[in-house]
Amino acid sequence: MRISDPGSIADWVAAVAACVNTLAFLASIVYVIRQWKESRLIRDATVIEHVYDYIMRTRKDRQVIYNHETALRAIRTEKDLTDFEATHAEVMESVHQVANCYHYLGFLLKEGLLSAQQAVLAECGHTASRMHGIIGEVLALQRVQIGRFEYKQYFNFLIDAIEQRRAPKF
């Protein structure tokens, strides 16, 4: 077989073309995978930015809760809750806002929409746990009052995730 043979040249050109096509295909696959990872990072960054913005918007509401911590922790019955709601509507609005915020964060975690879970739990875990310690009983009583036991349920999921993160791993 000589290079001047038209059949061998055609075979050689076809082999080179097949190699080039294979390399182009592999490069395309690598490019698509990198683009997918990049788009996922951008999505995650957008979700995290939204979460942090939401948490920051509840800063004043958390401060109201901290200022009324003793009174909120003293609520043990539905009557206590009703009496407190009647005299402290602005505090209950703050409870509602903070509970919504952490409920939303728990929803994102539960549904897998927040892939940087460990970072978020590390950043907001202490505050969320403290808030739940103050208003958790209030939320439980509200669930009973309105007859909706799923009310703000993802806040509890968030607290469970925080506690699991803190649990020692053996």
The secondary structure of the chain in percent helix, strand, coil, rounded to multiples of 5, reads 85, 0, 15
**Residues constituting the chain:** 170
**pLDDT tens digit sequence for 91-125:** 999 999 999 999 999 999 898 887 767 777 777 88
**pLDDT tens digit sequence for 75-91:** 999 999 999 999 999 99
DSSP of 86-128: HH-HHHHHHHHHHHHHHHHHHHHHHTT--S-HHHHHHHHHHHH
Signed CA dihedral, 157, 163, 166, 168: sign only:
negative
**pLDDT tens digit sequence for 9-41:** 888 888 899 999 999 999 999 999 999 988 888
CA 128 to CA 4: how far, in whole Å?
78
- Give the global pTM: 0.75
pLDDT at residue 105 in the model: 92
